[in-house]
Amino acid sequence: MKLSEIYNFLDQLSPFNIQESWDNSGILLGDRDSEISTVYLSLDIDENIIKEASENSLIITHHPLIFKGLKDLYDKTYPRAFIKEMI
């Protein structure tokens, strides 16, 4: 299934356009044309989920990995380390 299909389903279930202005919902990393084979659901992203997730997986979390602006991916702090590993 394409990531865009999952995104559209979630948007129908809970429209992204009604999120609070400070919230950061939606696709944070990835490509809408990607084929998704496995979906993981979690409250937050952690090391275990990243290690468990296979290629072509989608991780859906309640708390966004990127909540406010990032200026770089330089160090190994949260969320930078996770983002670098997932890229």
Q: Report how far residue 57's alpha carbon sits from residue 50's, in angstroms, rounded to the nearest whole number.
A: 10
Q: Is 26 annotated as a binding residue?
A: no
CB 61 within 8 A of CB 42: yes
Q: Is 62 annotated as a binding residue?
A: yes
Q: What angle do CA 74, 77, 80 make, to 5 degrees?
A: 55
Residues contributing to the annotated binding site for a divalent metal cation: 62-63
Residues contributing to the annotated binding site: 62-63
